[in-house]
Structure 1
Amino acid sequence: MGDSHCEEKPVCSMCYVDYPNRKVFVRGLCEATYFDTEYFLNIGEDGRVMFLGYLNSVVFYNETLDEWHWFDRRYNQSWAVSASGLDSMLLGVNIFDFKNLKQDPCFKDGESTLRKIKFTTCVENQFTCNDGECIDIEQRCDQTPNCLDGSDEDNCRMIFQKDNYKKTVAPFRFDEKTQKVNPVSVNISILIKDILQIKEIDHTYTLKYAMIMEWYDYRLTYYNLKKTRSANALAATEIERIWIPFIVFENTEKNEATVSTTNTEVTITREGNFSITDNSIMEEINLFQGEDNRITFQEVYSKIFKCEYKLQLYPFDTQVCTVQIRVRELEKATINIIPDLIFMEGDTVLTQYIVPHWSLSYVNESAPDQGINMIIILQRRLINEIMTTYLPTTLILIIVYATNFFKPFFFEAVVTVNLTSLLVLTTLFISVSGSLPPTAYVKMVDAWLLFAQSVPFVEVLLHTFIDSMRLEERTVNHHGKSLQTKGKDKKINGNPSKILPWIDEQPKDAFYSKSTNVINPMLIARDEKAELNARKEYYESLTNSDYWIRIGEIIGKVMIPFVFLTFAAIYWGYGLSYFLATY
C-alpha cells in the first residue's frame, strides 16, 4: 500500500503536521513531585498511546490490565495507576492511585494515596472541564453550565481565607515605621426608599432605607471574579465567615446596628488584576487579592428614629430629622467611616410634609471619628392647615363681624352668635393642641387661635356695653318673641306746656334726647344766659349717651376688623417669610 496525503482520504491513521504538537499539562501534583508536568502525545510503533514527559516521566495505557500507568524512568519500580478508559485519552479529571510510589515527597504517611489529577490541553485563560473540554475561564461559575458535563459550575466558592482569619477584627494595618494603626476606610451610602410614618406626638419617624457599605479586606483572596458585580454575590455561608462593619444607629431606642440577615447582599467588585493558580492546584482559578477588589454590603432596614420636632413656628415650621451613624467606641481606632452617596427613591411629597432636601455628611469635618449624620428636611404642607384651621376660623370671624350690623331688636341673637363662635373656636383650639406634642412654648397656630377667640369675646362685651347705653323703651327679641323693655322714667322740671304754651307744637327732639332723662324748658328761655346754660347741659347730656353708642359702633365696625387685618398681615408675613426662606 503506497503513501497518500491525508486530504485525499476520509480517514487516515497517522499524519505529519508542520506545526508543533500540542502540549498536555498536568495539574494537581505538588511542587516537589518527581513527575513531569508537561507532556507530548505520542503513538508508538506498536500503536500504543502514550504521553512523554519533558524529562523522565511516561504515561501509557496498559491494555492487558485496562488501566493507565504513570512512572518515572528513574524509578522503574515506582508508579501510579488510573482506571480511566482508553477512549478518555486521559484528558480531563482522572483519579490516580499513588500507593505504589516509593519515597514520594507529595504524600505523608497515613495520607490517602488517591488523588484527582487533571490532564489538559487548555491554554491560559481557559478552564478545563472534567471531560477535558476547554472553555473560556470567564464562563466558570457564571450560573450557566457551559461544559457538556456541567462541571464548570461545581465547587463555585468565591473567597479564600487563611486559618488565622478573624471575622471579629477589622482589616486595619499597622505601620511599623510610625507605630500607628491605619484604620480601614468604610464608605457609607444611603438609599432612602420611603418615609413610612411621622409621629410628632412621640417625636419619632419610621424610615425604610438601604444601607450600603464598601471597604477592602486585604486578608481575603477571591476566586474567578466576574466583570459584573451582581455575578460576584457571596453565598450566605460565605457572608457569615467574613468581617462586616458593625455600625450603630445611635438615635434609635436600643442603639440598633447593622446586622446581616437572609436578605443581606454582599458582592465583590472586580477592580484589580488577577493571577492564575500554578499547576499544583488541580483547577484553573483566577486569583484576585482582597486589597484591590472592593466588598459591597447592602441591607434594607425599617427602623424607628427619634426626631426632635421644633414647633414654635407651626404650621410654618421646617423640621430637621437625622439618622445618627456611629462606630462603637472600641473600634474608633480601627474603623473610619466616610459619607459617600445618598439617593432618594421614595416619594418626596408626603401627606403632611414635603421633603425638599436630604444629605449625608460628617457630624464634624475636623473630627471624623464623631461619626456621620444623614439629614432629612421635612417642610410642612400648608394647605392642610389652611383648610382645617385658618379658613374655618376666618369664616367664623366674618360671621362674628356681621353681628355688628344686627338691629338692636336682635341683641339676644348677637350675643348668642358670638358665644357660639367662641365655643367653636375653643373646641378647634383644643383639637389642634391635642394633635401636637405638649410644649412649654406658644406655637404660632396657638397665637392665631387665641387671637381668634378674643374677637367674639370682645364683641360680646362691646354689644353689652352698647345695649346698656340705650335708655329708651323699645321692643327686643326674646327667644323668638317680642319683649317690651322699660327705660328710666323721664323727669320734667315743671309743666313745659304751661310754662311755654307752644311747646306742644315743637318737635319733641328739640327739648330732650333719647339718651337724657330730663326735659329742660329753659332751652328756649327768653333769658339768654339761662338758655345758654340749658343748651350746654343738654349737649353734655346728649354726649354722655349717644357718644358712647357711636364709639362702640365704630369699634365694632372699624377698629376690630382693622386690628384683625393688621394682625393677619403681620402673622402671615412673618410665617411665610420663614417658610419660603428655609429651603
Structure 2
Amino acid sequence: MMERRQLDQIIFIFIIFSFVRVAHADNYTIRGMNLPAMNFNSSEIFTCDAGITRCTGNMNRQITKTTIDKDSTWNLTDVNNPNSIILQMSQGQSIIGTRNWTVPTKQPAQGPQQETKILLNFHNCSSDQFPCEDGSCVDILARCNYTAECGDRSDEDSCARLSLSDGYLTTAPNSINHSTPIDLSVTTTFDTMISLDYAAKKLGLRLTLTISWRDPGLSFNNLQTVSRANTLQPTEWNEIWHPELVFNNTQNRDSTSSMSSANSLVVVERISTTPEADDPTTLIKNAIYKGIDNIIVQENIR
C-alpha cells in the first residue's frame, strides 16, 4: 500500500513538472555598430531578463533600463564602469528592433553639448534570419523576394543586388588576379527566318544570343532561386564589366553593346545554396553570394 502511494506521488509530481515551462533568458545582439572609436565588438551576445530591463554581454558590456515618470531610458555601459554611458536610448517603450541611439559626449568648454545619433537594431534573431525593423525575425532567404514578410515591410527595403569589390574594373575582366582569363559561355538560338535573298546572298534571322560568365569582383545580395527575380537594372548593368561581342558578317557589323536594352535581359543565376556571412556592423542584413560562385546571364534577342 505504501509503495502504491509513493508511486502515485511520483507520477503526480512528474505530470505537474511536465506542464511547467522553465523560463530562460533570450540572447540578443546589436547590428549597425560602426563607430570604431567605441571599440565595440559586434559579435557580443547579450543575455536579457524577461522584461528586458537588464542585459549582460559576454564581453563586459551591459544594458540597463531606468524609468522616471513613465519615461524609460536604456543605457549601454561597461560592467567595470557603469557610470560612464557609452550609448543611450529613450525612444519608445522598448529597445527591440531598429532605434535611434545617442552617443553622449562630454560638455565642451563653450557652447551646447554635441551628441552623435546612430541607428542600431537590437534583436534576438538567429543567423539564418533577417531582423525586421520592428524586432521580429523572418527567414533571410525571403529577403527582397518581392513579398513583404516583415509586418513593417522592412525586408523589402534596400534591395540592391550588386556589391562591387574595392578597385573593381569596368574596363577589363575582374579575374582573381586580374591576369587569368575568365570563362565565357556563348549560345546562339535561331528563332525565325525573316528574309532570304539568293541574289544578294543575304539571310535575315531572328535569334537569341545568351552570354554567361562569373565575376570574382562582385558579390550579390539576396539572390532568389528563380533567376528572373534577380534581374539587374540598367544602372546596375552599367556599373559592371561585361563582354562585348562583334559580328563582322552582319550588315551593320552589329555588337552586343549596340543591341537595344528593350531586347536584352540580364539576370543572375544563383548556384550557391548557402549565403556567406555578412558584416554585422551594417544596419541592414543581407544574404550575400560570391560572384565567383554564381553566374551572370545576358540574353539578347536580335
User: Within the alignment, does 1:187 sit opposite 2:185 as a pair?
Assistant: yes
Equivalent position of 1:571 in the other structure: none
Q: Is contact 2:270-2:294 (8 Å) kept?
A: yes
Alignment partners' CA distance in 2, 1:112 and 1:288: 37
Alignment partners' CA distance in 2, 1:159 and 1:130: 22
Equivalent position of 1:38 in the other structure: 45
User: Within the alignment, does 1:82 sit opposite 2:83 as a pair?
Assistant: no
1:237 aligns with one of 235, 238, 241: 235
Deviations 1:266-315 (A, max 9, x none): 111111343121422323322211111111111211xxxxxxxxxxxxxx
Q: Which structure's residues are more often strand, by fraction?
A: 2
Give the match's secondary structure for 2:276. Answer: strand
Q: Is contact 1:91-1:118 (8 Å) kept?
A: yes
Equivalent position of 1:267 in the other structure: 267
Alignment partners' CA distance in 2, 1:228 and 1:162: 25
1:142 aligns with one of 141, 145, 150: 145
How far residue 90 of structure 1 moved from its aligned partner, in angstroms, is 1.4
Deviations 1:34-72 (A, max 9, x none): 4463112226xxx88232222432223332354332222
Q: Is contact 1:91-1:119 (8 Å) kept?
A: yes
- Structure 1 runs, 4 residues or longer, greater than 6 Å off: none
Q: Which structure's residues are more often helix, by fraction?
A: 1
Given residue 28 of structure 2, which amino acid in structure 1 is its aligned partner?
Answer: V
1:249 aligns with one of 247, 250, 257: 247
Q: Is contact 1:232-1:269 (8 Å) kept?
A: yes
Q: How does 1:216-231 map to 2 (within 5 A)?
A: 216-231=214-229
Equivalent position of 1:280 in the other structure: 281
Change in Cα spacing, 1:298 to 1:99, as seen in structure 2 (3 Å) is farther
Given residue 133 of structure 2, which amino acid in structure 1 is its aligned partner?
Answer: N
Alignment partners' CA distance in 1, 2:115 and 2:264: 40
Deviations 1:476-511 (A, max 9, x none): xxxxxxxxxxxxxxxxxxxxxxxxxxxxxxxxxxxx
Which structure 2 segments of 5+ residues have no match? 1-15, 108-113
Alignment partners' CA distance in 2, 1:28 and 1:166: 29
Change in Cα spacing, 1:186 to 1:298, as seen in structure 2 (3 Å) is same
Change in Cα spacing, 1:35 to 1:245, as seen in structure 2 (3 Å) is closer
Equivalent position of 1:465 in the other structure: none
Given residue 68 of structure 1, which amino acid in structure 2 is its aligned partner?
Answer: W
2:25 aligns with one of 15, 21, 26: 21
Alignment partners' CA distance in 2, 1:112 and 1:265: 48
How far residue 188 of structure 1 moved from its aligned partner, in angstroms, is 0.5
Relative CO higher for 1 or 2, CA cutoff 8 Å, sep ≥ 6? 2
Alignment partners' CA distance in 1, 2:263 and 2:105: 52
Change in Cα spacing, 1:30 to 1:270, as seen in structure 2 (3 Å) is same
How far residue 240 of structure 1 moved from its aligned partner, in angstroms, is 1.3
Given residue 71 of structure 1, which amino acid in structure 2 is its aligned partner?
Answer: T
Alignment partners' CA distance in 2, 1:119 and 1:174: 39
Q: Normalised by the size of structure 2, how large is the TM-score?
A: 0.79
How far residue 112 of structure 1 moved from its aligned partner, in angstroms, is 8.6
Give the match's secondary structure for 1:249. Answer: coil
Given residue 57 of structure 2, which amino acid in structure 1 is its aligned partner?
Answer: G
Change in Cα spacing, 1:101 to 1:220, as seen in structure 2 (3 Å) is farther
How far residue 155 of structure 1 moved from its aligned partner, in angstroms, is 0.2
Q: Is contact 1:222-1:289 (8 Å) kept?
A: yes
Change in Cα spacing, 1:112 to 1:276, as seen in structure 2 (3 Å) is farther
Change in Cα spacing, 1:30 to 1:188, as seen in structure 2 (3 Å) is same
Q: Computing the radius of gyration over CA atoms, which structure comes out larger, 1 or 2?
A: 1
Equivalent position of 1:127 in the other structure: 130
Equivalent position of 2:12 in the other structure: none
Given residue 264 of structure 2, which amino acid in structure 1 is its aligned partner?
Answer: T
- Bigger drift between 119-128 and 252-261 goes to 252-261
Q: Is contact 2:176-2:216 (8 Å) kept?
A: no
Q: Is contact 1:79-1:100 (8 Å) kept?
A: no
Alignment partners' CA distance in 1, 2:115 and 2:163: 24
In the alignment of these two chains, the number of paired residues is 269
Given residue 89 of structure 2, which amino acid in structure 1 is its aligned partner?
Answer: S
Change in Cα spacing, 1:41 to 1:278, as seen in structure 2 (3 Å) is same
1:59 aligns with one of 48, 58, 63: 63
Q: Normalised by the size of structure 1, how large is the TM-score?
A: 0.43
Given residue 281 of structure 2, which amino acid in structure 1 is its aligned partner?
Answer: S
Given residue 120 of structure 1, which amino acid in structure 2 is its aligned partner?
Answer: H
How far residue 263 of structure 1 moved from its aligned partner, in angstroms, is 4.1
How far residue 126 of structure 1 moved from its aligned partner, in angstroms, is 0.8
Alignment partners' CA distance in 2, 1:113 and 1:264: 46
Q: Is contact 2:168-2:174 (8 Å) kept?
A: no
Q: Is contact 2:175-2:182 (8 Å) kept?
A: yes
Change in Cα spacing, 1:218 to 1:48, as seen in structure 2 (3 Å) is closer
Alignment partners' CA distance in 2, 1:174 and 1:240: 23
Given residue 291 of structure 1, which amino acid in structure 2 is its aligned partner?
Answer: I
Q: How does 1:214-363 map to 2 (within 5 A)?
A: 214-259=212-257, 261-272=261-272, 273-301=274-302
How far residue 137 of structure 1 moved from its aligned partner, in angstroms, is 0.9
Q: Is contact 2:213-2:296 (8 Å) kept?
A: yes
Given residue 117 of structure 2, which amino acid in structure 1 is its aligned partner?
Answer: L
Alignment partners' CA distance in 1, 2:127 and 2:166: 30
User: Within the alignment, does 1:69 sit opposite 2:75 as a pair?
Assistant: yes
Alignment partners' CA distance in 2, 1:112 and 1:200: 80
Alignment partners' CA distance in 2, 1:252 and 1:48: 70
Alignment partners' CA distance in 2, 1:148 and 1:70: 28
How far residue 124 of structure 1 moved from its aligned partner, in angstroms, is 1.9
Change in Cα spacing, 1:48 to 1:257, as seen in structure 2 (3 Å) is closer
Alignment partners' CA distance in 2, 1:263 and 1:252: 18
Deviations 1:71-105 (A, max 9, x none): 2234433332223211xx31111121214389xxx
C-alpha RMSD over aligned residues: 2.8
Q: How does 1:497-576 map to 2 (within 5 A)?
A: none
